[in-house]
Amino acid sequence: MPSDRYPGLAAVLDAIRREDGVTQPILVERVGLGRSVVAQRVAELEEAGLVVSRGLGPSTGGRAPRRLGLRADAGRVLGADIATNEVVVAVADLAGDLQATRQEEIDVTDGPDIVIGIVERMARAIVEETGTGGELWAIGLGMPGPVAYDGGAAATMPTMPEWSRHPTVQRMASAFGAPAWMDDRVNLSALGERRVNPLAAASRNLVYMGGGYGIGAAVVVGGQLHRGAHGLAGAIDHMPVPGVEGVVCGCGNLGCLEAVAGGAALARDGRRLAESGESPVLAEVLTRTGRIRPGDVTAAAGRGDPAARALLHRAAVVLGASLATLVNVFDPDLVVIGGGIARARAHVLAAIREEIYRRAMPAATRDLRIEPSAVDQEVAGVTGAVEFALARLFEPGNLPSVLDARLRARPEAAPGEGAGLTA
């Protein structure tokens, strides 16, 4: 068996996934393999039930070429986005289109045993609810912190020791009988952005800022997610903000970005504005609901509350200054503002932009675009978790077991048929 067979299969499958309805001659151009090799790889993918014919494309003289597409309903993928204060779980088809989502509030400080237990319960319910869509092929998990890789597999979470020791990936894989992969949810949100937003998909060098209660950034360098040596690349949440040393961060240091401008900081400072009466809008929310959430601050600012607006503006200036540092370090062509702060974009995006332009090197900002996320923030992380799982599932190293399982599952397969597909 030629050693380039699985890379070839993966490349053909990847091109079909990217371009639904692609014709075989175009496919040959896209993957840069010979016509007969591509024809054979397509035949193998069709035999495994992964690729289907989508009718005929325009003829360029001879016989009209077939259009090819991914058989999206051949299986399902489970995505789970675990944030500091909530979990979103989704089931998607093999094209990555979400079929159903569920959301629950959690407290990540309850620890992995409890939180992953909740994720399992939510996942079982949603898998049952969408029960007719084929078996589960893969699981993608977004984690509320950096994830370090060891030999290509997620191994530890360097900033969360209790989560590092927990066998999250193995537990989910054995609970649902499908391979599971995990990554920092901010990285996954960036993948979700690249799936949905053409501007982000086209960017070769992208800085994505995201996060809910926390703040994080994902960095794409040369078209690839840049994770760094320990999965910590882009972990701006604990970057020091000059001049605010008095604010204690959850990590034990003083004046971290997250402690000054993160969701929990907005909630804390918003509560102070409510209690002091400086913000009548937030005072009303506190009386009515008994708490202040970051979204209450952005909503109050949206209603024109001056104190809430000033609070968000201050956060935006601090975020902009931190992003300016990333712009100088990574020299991106695009900065995308996602996460909770994206919901308040009218009030804060201008301030973030201004601060980046003011602080980053002019040569770095001359052609730089700074745009709000194009993804619904409720599902940005889980969209990326599904995308991540699909990308891992269809990698050359994992494709043999995928194809093997499909061929074994085919009741009509004749003895010996597909024997060449065994890894």
State which residue, 238 or 347, has the beta carbon closest to Zn ion: 238
The H or E element that residue 210 is part of is: strand 206-210
State which residue, 178 or 236, has the beta carbon closest to Zn ion: 236
Distance CA 301, CA 175 (A): 44
User: Residue 374 has what DSSP assignment?
Assistant: -
Nearest-approach distance from CB 330 to Zn ion, in angstroms: 21
State which residue, 67 or 238, has the beta carbon closest to Zn ion: 238
Nearest-approach distance from CB 212 to Zn ion, in angstroms: 16
State which residue, 340 or 384, has the beta carbon closest to Zn ion: 340
- Measuring CA to CA, how many Å separate 345 from each of 195, 299, 339? 21, 11, 10
Binding mask 185-224 for Zn ion (x = CB under 5 A): ----------------------------------------
Nearest-10 Cα torsion for 261, 264, 267, 268: -90
**Do the beta carbons of residue 406 and residue 50 sit within 8 Å?**
yes
**Do the beta carbons of residue 206 and residue 220 sit within 8 Å?**
yes
Distance CA 336, CA 148 (A): 24
Q: Which of residues 351-410 bind Zn ion (CB under 5 A)?
A: none
Distance CA 66, CA 48 (A): 18
Among residues 260, 256, 264, 233, which one has the least CA distance to residue 146?
Answer: 233
Q: Residue 286: helix, strand or coil by DSSP? A: helix
Q: Which two tokens stand for residue 176?
A: 């649902």
**Partners of 92 in beta bridges:** 77, 98
**Do the beta carbons of residue 40 and residue 69 sit within 8 Å?**
no
Q: Which of residues 237-256 bind Zn ion (CB under 5 A)?
A: 238, 249, 251, 253, 256
Nearest-approach distance from CB 322 to Zn ion, in angstroms: 13
Tokens 């990326």 locate to 384
Nearest-approach distance from CB 321 to Zn ion, in angstroms: 16
State which residue, 53 or 253, has the beta carbon closest to Zn ion: 253
State which residue, 54 or 268, has the beta carbon closest to Zn ion: 268
Distance CA 51, CA 67 (A): 10
Binding segment toward Zn ion, per CB under 5 A, in 65-73, 232-240, 292-300, 371-379:
232-240
Nearest-approach distance from CB 170 to Zn ion, in angstroms: 30
Nearest-approach distance from CB 146 to Zn ion, in angstroms: 13
Nearest-approach distance from CB 92 to Zn ion, in angstroms: 34
Nearest-approach distance from CB 231 to Zn ion, in angstroms: 17
State which residue, 249 or 297, has the beta carbon closest to Zn ion: 249
**Burial class of residue 222 (count of CB atoms within 10 Å of its CB; 0-12, 13-18, 19+):** exposed
State which residue, 71 or 238, has the beta carbon closest to Zn ion: 238
Site size for Zn ion (CB under 5 A): 5
Does position 343 interact with Zn ion (CB under 5 A)? The reply is no
State which residue, 190 or 256, has the beta carbon closest to Zn ion: 256
Can you spell out the DSSP letters for 406-417?
HHHH-TTPPTTT
Nearest-approach distance from CB 163 to Zn ion, in angstroms: 17
Distance CA 368, CA 33 (A): 36
Interface residues toward Zn ion, by CB under 5 A: 238, 249, 251, 253, 256
